[in-house]
Amino acid sequence: MNAPGGPLVEVIADEDWAAVVTSAADGLLDDGRPQRWCLATGATPRPLYRQWAERLDLSAVEVVLLDEWIGLDADDPGRCAAMLHHDLVEPMPEQRRPTVTAIDVDAPLDPQWPGPLDLAVVGLGANGHVGMNEPGTAPDSPTRRVDLAETTAAGALRYGARRRPTGGVTVGLGPLQQARRVWVIVTGDHKAGIVERALNGPETTDVPASLLRSHPAVTWWLDHSAAGRL
Ligand code: PGA
């Protein structure tokens, strides 16, 4: 549980960030019981997942994707499922790999998907989004198909996508609020301004990440660069 008055904010030296967050994740795996973790993909978790692949035994974990693009080919390397496999699953020895449940963007969507979560690891978009919950998203939003902000769609090209996605599917803020624990991971000085707005500004749908401040067990794992304006 967090101290009254706000979310737990951990500020870590840039060079130690991935190792510290990895140790915290390892601590959640102690008893070997089955768990379901919802994981972001993209640039921020890449160094983290490299360490998870080296150090963690995720064989009791079902990983579900936080979001997925619409409009990319099944074999596009920029798909979130492809990034998760490339960054986390493939580098792990087989016996320590999690099971992975991807998002079928063509199937009917359950608004409460993926159901109970032990942990949700989410990044922070430059526009304050969480997953693909863009500015304007309601705090109790379901899992659903979404239109993407310009900067979000362009992000897919940075991740190596062959074309611009036409939309996305994201776990909603509603199911994320129900997770037992939420970790917001943010690195780099290019995120310092939006971190400051998300943590010190008003809780507003204009900055969807600010709405996670009210989660009873949220931790913001920031490196010094991302925390530079707090
Ligand atoms: P990034 O994306 O980790 O690639 O910076 C974060 C996000 O847009 O949620």
pLDDT, one tens digit per residue, over 48-88 is: 999 999 999 999 999 999 999 999 999 999 999 999 999 99
Q: Are strands 182-186 and 218-223 parallel, antiparallel or unpaired?
A: parallel
pLDDT of 159 higher than 70: yes
Whether the pTM exceeds 0.85: the reply is yes
Residue 21 predicted with pLDDT over 90? yes
Q: Give the 3-state secondary structure of residue 141.
A: coil
**Is residue 122 over pLDDT 80?**
yes
Decide: 133 in ligand 1 pocket, CB within 6 A: no
**In the chain, % of residues over pLDDT 70:** 98
CA distance 160 to 157: 5
Q: How far is the CA of 134 from the centre of ligand 1 (A)?
A: 12
Q: What is the distance in A from the centroid of ligand 1 to the CA of 26? A: 23
Q: Is the pLDDT of residue 6 over 80?
A: no
Give the helix/strand (H/E) hosting 174: helix 173-177
Residue 31: band (very low, low, confident or very high) from pLDDT cuts 50, 70, 90: confident
Q: How far apart are the first and last CA of the chain?
A: 22
Residue 4: pLDDT band by 50, 70, 90 thresholds?
Answer: low
Percent of the chain as helix, strand, coil, to the nearest 5:
30, 20, 50
Instruction: Kindly give the distance from the C-alpha atom of residue 92 to the centroid of ligand 1, in angstroms, as a whole number.
Output: 23
Residue 116 has pLDDT above 50, yes or no: yes
Best of 87, 124, 189, 190 for a ligand 1 pocket test (most atoms within 8 Å of beta carbon): 124
CA angle 19, 22, 28 (to 5 degrees): 150
In the predicted model, what is the mean pLDDT of the chain?
96
Q: Provide the pLDDT for residue 68.
A: 98
β-bridge pairing 61-65 and 99-101? parallel
pLDDT for res 28: 97
Task: Look at residue 5 in the predicted model and tell me its pLDDT.
Answer: 58
DSSP reduced 3-state for 107 = coil
Q: Which atom of ligand 1 is nearest to the CA of 185?
A: 3
C-beta 43 within 6 A of ligand 1: yes
Bond preceding residue 175 cis, omega within 30 of 0: no
With cut-offs at 50, 70 and 90, classify the pLDDT of residue 7: confident
